[in-house]
Chains A and B, each alone.
Chain A
Amino acid sequence: MPPLSSLKNLIPVCQLPAGASARICELTGDDSFCQRVREMGFGEAALVTKISGSSTSLCLVKGTRIALNHRAAMSILVEPLPANAR
């Protein structure tokens, strides 16, 4: 089965503009990273809002501010939500 990223318009969190919201669709990091992300409650289907940052990203997930370094932010693929859906 082809990865989700090839079927949808998915981008890594670091490319999400500040203020934009998105839905987490795919985790591409190593197993250990995916496990921690899911255990912290923002695995697939969680909504994320970018607060700031490009190299290191600051995001809001379920009311929690989460800092992600560039490697982590590259490993979380999201589907941007249209502005009226936020």
Chain B
Amino acid sequence: MNLPSHITPPPRRRPASAPDRAPVYAIVGNPNCGKTTLFNALTGLRQKVGNYPGVTVEKKVGTTWSQHGRPIQIIDLPGAYSLAARSPDEAVLRDVLFGRREDTPQPDRIICVVDAANLERNLYLVHQILDLGRPVIIALNMMDMAATAGLKVDPAELEGELGIPVIACEAVHGRGLVELKLAMSRVELPLARHRWDLPGPVAPAVTELQASLRDNDDRSPLIARAEALLLLTDFDAVRVAGSRPLSARTHQILDQWRQRWETEGTDWSGLLIRSRYDAIGLLCRDVIVRTRETGPSRSDQIDAVLCHSVWGWAVFAVIMAALFFSIFSLAESPMNFIDEQVASFGGWVKGQMAPGDLRDLLTDGVIGGVGGIVIFLPQILILFFFVGLLESTGYMARAAFIMDRPMSKVGLNGRSFIPLLGSYACAIPGIMATRTIENARDRLVTILVAPLMSCSARLPVYLLMIATLLPGNTMPAVTKAAIMLSMYALGTTGVFFFAWLFKRTLFKSAPQHMIMELPPYQPPRLKEILRHMFERGWLFLKNAGTIILGISIVLWFLTAYPKHPNPAATATEQIAQSFAGRAGHLLEPVIKPLGFDWRIGIGLITSFAAREVFVSSMGVIFGVESANDDTTPLRDALRASHWPGGAPLFTPLVCLVLMVYYVFAMQCMSTVAVVKRETNSWRWPLFQIAYMTGTAWLVCFIFYQAGRALGY
């Protein structure tokens, strides 16, 4: 086997003293080529998959077993088109392969997953990875889609050309996994015949930079060569160096070469990229055979409608309307069922126990608090089912395409819309997904506005307020869905307004180019969607059984103690002088101009942990207050509540204002923690709390006072 001069072949036999360490594999490839599906199939884990680029933004580690029963560690890495990383998620791939991450072992071997239907483009990253001189296995994925596109891809021919294992597979159907495991189980893997002619003007610069990186920057010889090639592909040397800044000498060499090429008019980056593609073209000459000409694919035909400047918007509006209508119409029966079970269970507990603090703790604290939130489980499941459908079919990327134009009006582009759309489910994965955004300012603006998108935690608050506002069956589901839709629209409007404001003040920058690959449409993978939906549902119940239960018990204690000196005091008098009541009274002057009293104030304080805690808090407070033996639905208890003067507390106006408050206010500790981690500073999460909660107060103040002035 002929090896290029920079690659030293591994010893034929491992030294006797070498530790018998299990090999570490990395799974790499272009975005959306099936890496995580393969990772899940190999490890049995259940990492999230979706049909849009950028689902995986951080490394994931799992274990599989070789044919000889030995453990093999596998690292699943975010997708990238090139090792010249442009965004934080792409940098994870480069840093792990270059051994720059202290928390991750440098992989011994690499599985390159390539999309057989787009072989040449996928091989560009493989070509860069072969520079690293490490054993590589190519998993030729999506062979079925290549066949549909009229392409015959010959794995044996590619294997013959490169001299490394090339395994044809369809990860989604589990095909080719046995063969892949067999290849992974081999004690020794051959190194690729990776020979390509560097362009004449660039070759001496590669040699000089490689030597400098090795001698002055402490890089190993192979990493030095790969990094030298990246420095001559990417115009931003600081970005390539990442966490390992370059020495002054390497910078000097790089600057000298670049100045020279500029004088000569040499397009060094273009030369290098073209020479790689030329080498790939030669490699694929006999690997890909077009068996037949295919007309526009089904995805092209669907895109002609879904990405149309008029029809695209119409379909988008119908999808969103269907989502909100389903939340009301489909969830009604299971929700009523859970409501009845919670009420009858509360009644049964009351009947079984003697009156006293323990009974009140169980019925008002635990059942009132947790039961109040559990009834919203059906809606949460429906929301996640719909989001799963959008992610699985490939529509997420189309929504980003449609939204590019309005996003460009506020200085962002369609790429920012995928994290925002994901934030309808939960802001935390939405904020994580901003790692795919290349421009740091655009990324920060997207992080700052993402929590304004109405997440699933707001759903219980909206639903409770709509139920209080429109009791029973007095209004059709369409009206309730329209109110809900308007709250989502208000949040989305807030996103656009604040993105516009921030891009013109704090984060001024020129509009960015956007290039985004739209994946082919796929039938929804119902098994994956249902699994993810039930996982999120379980998480919701887990939170209800832990955090919300804990807060409910503590809140019950704070409303029940200290006891009123007069044993004949009413329940309202008891709460008013309790610890919680005193805190609520302290807050009341600030929130009274919004139409909220001290009891609502308690809910606002406790729901800073998570928005849905507001519902459980209302359950505890109004459950304690209605100190009788009947367990009434919370919405009825809210409707019956009054101000001291006798005026109703939850008027239609107050219900709407409360919803508006939750549209804007930053009431989620987990989001604060994630923003702190992603921005690496407390500055931005604190700013986010201030601007969001400040806006909530101001908008509610205007809305309530205007409503009052108009006689509502």
Contacts and interface: CB of A to CB of B under 8 A. Distances in A.
A33 B270 CA distance: 12
Interface in B516-544: 516-520
Interface stretch (B2-10, B65-73, B298-306, B654-662): B298-306
Interface string A35-75: 11111110100000001111110101011111111111001
A53 B309 contact: yes
Contacts of A34: 269-270
Interface residues of B, number: 45
Contacts of A53: 307, 309, 401
A34 B121 CA distance: 16
A34 B233 CA distance: 11
Given A41-B124, A68-B515, A56 B117 contact: no
Contacts of B274: 38, 43
Interface string B264-304: 00000110011001000000000000000000000110011
A54 to B, nearest CB: 7
Nearest to A31: B235
Interface size class, chain A: 35 or more
Contact of A67 (B81, B149, B514): B514
Contacts of B397: 67
Contacts of B401: 53, 56, 58, 67
A64 B514 contact: no
B514 A41 contact: no
B277 A51 contact: no
Given A38-B270, A43-B270, A55-B309, A67 B516 contact: yes
Nearest to B394: A65
A29 to B, nearest CB: 6
B517 A55 contact: no
B121 A41 contact: yes
A51 B86 contact: no
Interface of A is mostly: mixed
A65 B300 contact: yes
Nearest to B400: A67
Contacts of B512: 71
Interface string B498-522: 0000000000000111111111100
B708 interface: no
Given A54-B309, A66-B516, A40 B303 contact: no
Given A71-B512, A75-B513, A39 B405 contact: no
A52 B515 contact: no
A32 interface: yes
A67 B404 contact: yes
Interface string B297-338: 001100110011100000000000000000000000000000
Contacts of B124: 39, 41
A75 to B, nearest CB: 7
A60 B304 CA distance: 12
10 contacts: A18-B304, A31-B269, A35-B270, A43-B270, A53-B307, A64-B118, A65-B303, A67-B414, A67-B516, A69-B413
The 5 A-B residue pairs whose C-beta atoms are closest, nearest first, are: A69-B514, A41-B121, A72-B513, A65-B518, A56-B404
Given A38-B269, A39-B273, A71-B514, 11 more contacts: A29-B513, A35-B269, A36-B86, A36-B515, A55-B405, A58-B303, A58-B401, A60-B300, A68-B515, A70-B408, A71-B511
